[in-house]
Amino acid sequence: MANVEAPAGSIQVELVWSPQAGDVRLRLLTLAAGASIEQALRACPDFADHLPRLGELKIGVWGRIQPLSTPLRERDRIEVYRPLTVDPKESRRLRYRKSPERVASRHRPLGGKIGI
């Protein structure tokens, strides 16, 4: 990814999304200064398939959920989050059932401390 300067009066941001498990897409976008998250999503032709579901998606900037009207700053990273398909706790249970070996903890038990 080349470090290209944005023209005067514009900003450069990253858009990252994963249409399906194992497929992560990243696009660099050059937008007018003060553009919102929604304007950035609409400016990316590769993201057009997801625009009809825009209201359903969780979208954040640098890991924090933000409304679509949030103004962007230079070098912001827009992240589009897919809904979970499996509860993480249930996923862990299923993995354990497949391989019932105990995983050794790297932490010492609390009861072994001196002075407790």
Question: Which residue ranges make up each domain of the chain?
Answer: 10-85
Q: What is the pLDDT of residue 99?
A: 75
78 phi/psi in degrees, rounded to 5 = -90, 125
Under the banding of pLDDT at 50, 70 and 90, the label for residue 110 is: low
Q: What is the pLDDT of residue 116?
A: 53
**Residue 2 CB partners (closer than 8 Å, separation 6+):** none
Strands (E), 9-72: 10-20, 23-32, 58-61, 64-65
CA pair distance 53, 14, nearest whole angstrom: 20
CA pair distance 40, 59, nearest whole angstrom: 12
**pLDDT tens profile 82-102:** 877 788 888 888 888 877 666
CA pair distance 116, 113, nearest whole angstrom: 6
* Confidence check: pLDDT of 79 > 90: yes
Burial status of residue 37 (CB atoms within 10 A of its CB: 0-12, 13-18, 19 or more):
buried
Q: Specify the CATH architecture of the domain 10-85.
A: Roll (3.10)
